[in-house]
Amino acid sequence: MEKIKYTQRICEDKERIKNFLVEKRVGTLSMCDKEGNPYALPMNYLYYNDKIYIHGMGSGKKNTILAEKPSVCFTIFEEFGTVTDPVPCKCDTSYLSVVIFGKAVLVEDLEEKAQVLTQLVEKFMPNFFKNPLSKQFIGKYHSSFDNKTVAVYCIDPEDLTAKENPIDMDHMFNGNKSK
């Protein structure tokens, strides 16, 4: 994998990266179809057991592409604001981003699928449901749209990079014009 060239921005704080991945809710799944056409989607995700899990309908363009070419890039980022500088071209953005490369593998094991979907539900609706999803329920559940079972994919990171430009409160733009 090509390494980050802007080495001053590399974030190597493993705990910060892990907390960021656990906390954030949406990442961008990027892939290419067999003709080489790019396709990117914003996806709710779960970071669980050091892997990224995504889910969705069991049919559609994403599923077709992943069945043919499972290599993906998954990006999670947050922008914190604009960093000012007396020189206009040196203004910047404060951010943290994580880029993960790997293969999106369809989860076939009903136990793992139920566990992941239970964790996803808990992440997005904490304490809403009393009981975890069972593998029996997951095995029988079908979408009313296409009558297929829910698809869960696991991305085991082959390469993970993180970059950041930390917040510097003394230089963050607050809406006031310079003098």
40-82: pLDDT as tens digits: 999 999 999 999 999 988 788 999 999 999 999 999 999 887 8
Whole-number pLDDT of residue 56: 86
Question: Do 80 and 94 touch, CB atoms closer than 8 A?
Answer: yes
Q: Which fold has domain 7-108+143-168?
A: Pnp Oxidase; Chain A (2.30.110)
* CA separation for the pair 138, 134 (Å, rounded): 6
Q: Is 105 exposed, middle or buried (0-12, 13-18, 19+ CB in 10 A)?
A: middle
Q: Domain residue spans in the chain?
A: 7-108+143-168
Whole-number pLDDT of residue 105: 97
| 113-128 confidence digits (pLDDT tens) | 999 999 999 999 999 9
Residues 6+ apart with CB under 8 A from 114: 132, 133, 134, 135, 137, 138
Whole-number pLDDT of residue 106: 96
pLDDT band of residue 170 (cuts 50, 70, 90) is confident
How remote is the C-alpha of 123 from its chain's centroid? 14
Residue predicted with more confidence, 88 or 104:
104
